Structure 1
Amino acid sequence: MWQARFVPLPALDLNLPHLADVVPSVLTAMGVAGFEARIPIRGDVAGACVLLVDGLGADLLDRHAADAPTLAALRGPTLQVGYPATTAAGLAAVGTGLRSGEHGLVGYSFRVPAAGMLNALRWREHPWGSDLRERAVPEQVQPQPTTFERAAAAGMAVSVCSPAEFAGSGLTRAVLRGADYRGVFALGDLAATVRNAVSAGEFCYAYHSELDALGHLYGPGSLPWRMQLRQVDRLVESVMEALPPGGLLAVVADHGMVSAEETVDLDADPALFDGVEAVAGEARARHVYTREGAVDDVLQAWRARIGSRAWVVARDEAIDAGWFGARVLDEVRDRIGDVVAAARDGAVLVRRTAEPMESAFVGHHGSLTAAEQTVPLLLAGL
């Protein structure tokens, strides 16, 4: 058995600029009423786009600046993405201006009372199952008003530029509602749609997913990943070339990424499931839901068997450390595992039987390391 040793519990600094602060700050700079400028952005913005490049961690950008000269030249402040450092939570932070304890999308997958285990990206039962848009109505799972709804109500023209396949998805309805959804198919129409929106004086949110996909498949920093980073750099350059006077492009990311260095197959250790009803989340950020009265036993078993390869804590410990933000709503609390396991260093807590596809990934994210938590804020224009 792996020998456990004491590892200090990390606490997130809630005063650092956060991914959730970006859209409210840009809308404030555009003169939209009802928002707070949490990040200094010069005012008089006539049209703006927040472009989220999935998986573009600040550390990765710095290490591969030669492949992305346009992005590197814009390098400025960094943002913290909060826990978990994963796409569903990151897109919700952008779409609501809130952290995960308030928007409630607390993982790649998590338990929703009366609906079961929800895969928030696919809005399906996890790890296998049917569409949950009727049992877990997106607008009820995430009922907070989105930044797009609020901006549209204040009179701003708001659009979302994202892959056409995501139009009407559960995640889109939960965190991106309120905007005119403009589905795209490739980098070319993504760039063209963003250019048109900014030139028309709109606020646009745009999303690019392929850098993250190649990071998962080949590893962050791999040759395929670097070649995709070059395409992202050209995308940003293409948008910048067409920015009108007063136009703003803000490039951000939802998380960084690490390569798997040590693999723990949870499904291969039955002792980890004694007293456990379900395990959700992902390989770097696990939610463990226990049977009644079994929390302490499960906590001790996971600590003993996982050891220093993860921070393994009870729900209240994670909340008190600020992992889910300063405020955790009552209805969100039950979505967080009774036990939370956040992987350290390069460890991954996979489930080869229950999650074969995700378990085969080379690159992962979700936890509390700087490589996962820190993303760039790149501002161009004005």
Structure 2
Amino acid sequence: MIRPLPAAPSYGATDLAGVLPSAAASLGVKGFRGALPQARGAVVVLVDGLGAELLRARSGHAPFMRTLMIDAASATAGFPSTTATSMGTFGTGLPPGSHGLLGYQVVDPATDLLFNELSWENGPDPRRWQREPTVFERVAPAGIETTMVANDYFNGSGLTTAALRGAGFATAATLAQRVDIVLARVARQPRSLTYLYWGNLDRTGHEFGCGSWEWVDELEAVDAELQRLSARLPRGVSLTITADHGMIDIPESNKTDIAFDPELAAGVRHTGGEMRSLQLYCEPGATDDVLAAWTARLGEQGWVLPMADAVSKGLFGPVQPHIAPRLGDVLVAMDGPYGYWDSRVMTITVGELIGQHGSLTSAEMAVPVLHRPAD
């Protein structure tokens, strides 16, 4: 028998949704609430792919972050546990059902075409797609300088515009260089909100697996730079470290390409989502048959349910009326180390990745929220 569906995320103040709002509240910005101590400035670091369970298991390789874990509460990124959705939650402080970034690949109801919310290639106007104000936009009237330090191709991208618009932008290739940028910015203007993104840990996990020595090496390098950042921050500036999702390794033998599986492909008009969390957009009248076929095939490998049930159970938080048409008809979420993908709409490179995420397991959903108060 399949395990009961995990509890829905709370999208509360202590979760990923509360990280930027809590930092803004600590700076005294009206309209935000949080439990963080008061600070003159705040630096928030998001390490892509740094799941809480992975960090806990490898904490011996992250001595600095381990010291911060002692007082850290459990936190969740939200669902689906994927970067595009989590960036929406992180940037707006809202659940996916409100900001509308619902997965790796989703259907635009205006065109009935899939687009990738990470690359945003051929996607809709990001300001129309995600119409809610971001935390950075809400902080600006308070006169607090905001900066995002990330990869150069993020500047003005569809996802950045949708989820993180409103902040100034700076870029550098290495994590050490990005830390130097942050230190220079906060030294010049301590009363500021600065966001640093680092994606190499996620990339390493995808390519080599999150159980690999390469992943551990990258974790050690990240921890060392974050310790340097913490040690050199000016007095009065706090540091918060979080992540957008965790990760799980999937053996090649446990991956199924539904493009070559007529039984699973039958009745499916579009395959949205990703390998660990699929949203199936069904042909008219085919939803029940699709549900039956996928339920019979997956067995104990995961959860299969009508999207209406997923919404009623609160997996996406409250779903706004203009967001609901973006969701598929059937949700498929993996439990064990399995993955299903569709090479007709997903690249071979994505299908070959070892580390995967997106589903409801705690290995993918749980993220650290580590805080070092201002001195």
Matches within 5 A, 1:135-146: 136-146=124-134
Do the aligned partners of 2:83 and 2:245 also contact (CA within 8 Å) in 1?
yes
Structure 2 residue 27 is the aligned partner of structure 1 residue 30: yes
Match of 1:319 in 2: 311
Q: Deviation digits for residues 224-254 of structure 1, max 9, x if unmatched?
A: 1111111111120121111111111100000
Of 279, 282, 288, which aligns to 1:296?
A: 288
Q: Deviation digits for residues 110-136 of structure 1, max 9, x if unmatched?
A: 111124211011002xxxxxx33xxx0
Of 104, 109, 113, which aligns to 1:113?
A: 109
Work out the CA distance in 2 between the residues paired with 1:6 and 1:79: 25
1:41 is matched by which residue type in structure 2? L
Matches within 5 A, 1:7-26: 7-14=3-10, 17-26=14-23
1:102 is matched by which residue type in structure 2? S
Match of 1:238 in 2: 228
TM-score, L = length of structure 2:
0.94
Match of 1:99 in 2: 95
Work out the CA distance in 2 between the residues paired with 1:296 and 1:221: 38
Do the aligned partners of 1:275 and 1:290 also contact (CA within 8 Å) in 2?
yes
List runs of 5+ in structure 2 lacking aligned partners.
none
Structure 2 residue 159 is the aligned partner of structure 1 residue 168: no
Deviates more, 1:62-71 or 1:209-218: 62-71
Aligned-partner SS, 1:313? strand
Match of 1:127 in 2: none
TM-score, L = length of structure 1:
0.92
Distance 1:198 1:157, change over 3 A: same
Distance 1:176 1:13, change over 3 A: closer
2:312 is matched by which residue type in structure 1? D
* Percent of paired sites with the same residue: 38
Q: Deviation digits for residues 320-339 of structure 1, max 9, x if unmatched?
A: 111101x1011211111100
Q: Which runs of 4+ in 1 moved over 4 A?
A: none
Matches within 5 A, 1:1-382: 5-14=1-10, 17-37=14-34, 40-43=35-38, 45-75=39-69, 76-115=72-111, 116-124=113-121, 131-132=122-123, 136-199=124-187, 200-201=189-190, 202-261=192-251, 262-325=254-317, 327-352=318-343, 354-355=345-346, 356-382=348-374
Distance 1:224 1:71, change over 3 A: same
Q: Deviation digits for residues 102-159 of structure 1, max 9, x if unmatched?
A: 11111011111124211011002xxxxxx33xxx001011111000000012322111
Count the aligned residue pairs.
365
Work out the CA distance in 1 between the residues paired with 2:11 and 2:242: 19
2:37 is matched by which residue type in structure 1? R
Do the aligned partners of 1:278 and 1:288 also contact (CA within 8 Å) in 2?
yes
Deviates more, 1:239-248 or 1:250-259: 239-248
Do the aligned partners of 1:288 and 1:339 also contact (CA within 8 Å) in 2?
yes
Q: Deviation digits for residues 244-296 of structure 1, max 9, x if unmatched?
A: 11111100000000011422222221111222110011111101001122211
1:139 is matched by which residue type in structure 2? R
